[in-house]
Structure 1
Amino acid sequence: MSFIGEPGEATHQAGHVIDLTFSNIPFATTEVAEDLHCGSDHFTLLTTIPARGRQPLDQFHYRVPTRRLHQFNALVELHLQAHPISPINTKADIESSIASLERTLWAALKGAGTPDRAKGHSAPWWTEDCVEAHSRHRAARNLAEPGTVPIEIREFLAVVRKAKKEYWANRINNITTDEELYSLLGWHKLTPGQQDIPLIVNNQTISDPLEKAEALRVEILDRFSAEDDLPEPVWPTETPAGTLPWDTHIPMEEVERSTIGVSSTSPGTDRITVRLLKTCWAQVRTHIRSIFQKCLELCYFPTAWKTAEVAMIPKVGKKDRTSPRSMRPIALLSCLGKGLERVVARRLAWTAMTHEILSPSM
């Protein structure tokens, strides 16, 4: 067993080294966590044990503030000048061009954006007075004599109580509608504070996020496979089917209307939103039109735009949240891929109605 703390570092308010940590695990460390102080005269110790347990799944998005949108556009333009997209002639060229375009947009997103790790936000009643009182409280705590309670601590608690009282009094006095009243009642939580409800599969309780994701995949997504698809062609026949005219020319106006002329939708695995595409549209519109044009000419839908990120959301009206059947999957696809889908869907609808190939009863 070896001491894994910092030699000589105080672990008590009086300056003593009274809390010691020993371990026989290589590279384990213990440090005083000032940000986790809970008000005790003993400091909070944080022990890190390497290579134990499961690596946490660090998922986050990049957010581009409005003030940095011009920077995102400039980075896209600069990257396209340094790495121009090659001409498109084959299906392989389509996939290569999409990959190159996604690399450009992703590089600009990382350069102009900031990671959104959902660290949360301060309480609504936390004011500047609370911040100043908390700073004085921390400074006094480090200088206080053993066995004494600094007056700054009492002042800090008084400031917090006053801020809470004023906040709630203001909320209650400003209620004018029933909606605001019910919104306020939502703060009074009568349900358990646990939001991440475990799943129960085959009488086994699953709480780990990765294990829950795997269980949902098996119980919901793996119910069907490629063997359940209809045969191709669906109705075998020796008589050649007739052909319908298919216009492969796509004007820039149609590309723009289908890609960025829509309401903002959730992005796919590339993390590129409609808002970002609107920002750099002048730089990428020619490349996107070329990709759409060649897809129509070759009757090909890119594999890269078939990849979806599946998210599970609770079904409305389901009370048993521990059952996998209470969840439903939604597929988050690339905004560019959804733009091509709209182009194809409009042309299919126009062709079907113009040539009367659908039943009038439909």
Structure 2
Amino acid sequence: MGTSRRPRARRCEKKTLRVFQANVGKIPPVHDCALALADSERYDIVLLQEPWTTTANSRCLTKTHPAYDTYSPVETWHSNSTRPRVMTYVRRDSTLSADQNRPYQSRDILWLTVNDTIIVNFYRQNDERDALDTLLQWPIPDRCLVAGDFNARHHTWQTGPTTNRGHEIASWASENGLGLLNTSDIPTNPHGNTIDLAFSNVPLAEANVEDHLATSSDHFTLSLTLPNVEPAPTQPGKIRVTTDDELKRFVEIVELGSTAIPVAASSPLELDKLASTLVSLLQSAAKAAGRPARKGARNTPWWTEECALAAAGYRAIRRLYPLGFNQEVQIAKRDFHRVVRRAKRLYWRNLINSFSDSSSVFKAVRWLRSPGAFQPPPLQVDDVVYETQLDKANALRRATLERRTAEDDIQDPWIELIKRKYQAPTESSFRTRLRRTNELLAPCPRPALMQKRFGKGQDTPLQTAPKGESAEAFLQWIETVEPATWIVYSDGSLSSEGAASYGFAIHQKDLSICDGSGRLGPAEAHQNLTTSHPSPLQDFPVNTTLSRQPVVGMTSNSAVQM
């Protein structure tokens, strides 16, 4: 008796978004440490303020991580006054889809739509008003998180006097339904101040100061969680068919499915149907025989166990003096930075020393044009800004494929060229090069090419008849030529270096009119005879030409140009 199968538990469609927020103070090892810690704890989004940036040879550089995509509010900068002061990183995960928004141009605010939630990375310097003015006038959407370094105080998050426009920030949050996620009077820097804040209107969102995520900067790290986030739609990935068993199975499926495909196809509609059927068969066979290519996020290669131990040692010292700047904390921070620098330097030195051939150099350096460290910003076409990936793709399609109509098409300039065989054929009606050239020239009497007179029935370029027989036939023929006829003598030869060339001479009766020479591709030569009676060129068959050197007839008082 069969048993009923237990229904499979439905997979939860919602996910919890984990956000890492920290100010790294423009210090390279701190920036590296923040990204490494976020990756080790599997955070989805990293919000950094005051990131490390620099310029070198007109290139804009910052810290990146192989497990995260990098987003910047500005793509280029040339000084400290134009560099970005926030940087957002999104984990490379199939369940995450990020689109950068730019409602306002600012280097201190970065808007990012991750799945169905807008994440705002914010930084405000004490003596500047522009960033906060921009944030206060931005309309708040439904699902939103605003986090960063506000550099302000208010009694709702820190007991004491209100400073640096803290009252405006608190009023803005209250009016727009944004709840403060920080726990009151929990400091976010060693001075005891709460200046790194997080606001959100997502239900059940939380924020905690995580001591074990200390980056060695003068700011503590906020760990944020946003529940019930819609996952990104799953995109079809690539299929790998690489092993012998997979290839064998793939061939078997294709052979079995190809028997049902019609072989004959004459009309364009049938050809299109045949092509789509073949593509469908190959795709189905690959999916059945292969396996999906799963390209997971990679760790930073230089972040070693020594770096992790140094970071843990610094955190242990900092726990003893959470709000102090004593000598032990400073020594632990300096040692940690030294370990990080040494690990990176040693990694690159060992990598360079391991190069044994050009392929290993190419694999490490990747001599290709880099797409840049940052993800593509919003695309502006005329006065319209496209932010989502789908809108960008449609704008690109319209700009490239729909900018012209069928009426704008130019006439087909292609002229089919047919290379004739080196033989004496019968009268032919197809348009040779000489005939096409003649159609482009003005009508006038021109010489015509005569039939080849020697070696009849010989189809190969080189003559194999005996010299005596050929000479006797030539002398007999030349007696019948009219006195006003021009005769072109031409031959081909192969030099000792292997180069093919030809020479020619034009005679009228016993007078030499002109001669010349040139180079040929193949070592082939043919005798070309030209007569100068006034008849259009297209009325005469064209039998022979020098290889790649067409003979063009001129008027009777002109030389024949080779």
TM-score, with structure 1 as normaliser = 0.39
Identify which of structures 1 and 2 has the higher relative contact order when contacts are C-alpha pairs closer than 8 Å and 6+ apart.
1
Q: Which has the higher strand share?
A: 2
TM (norm. structure 2) is 0.27
Larger Rg: 2
Q: Per residue, is there more helix in 1 or in 2?
A: 1
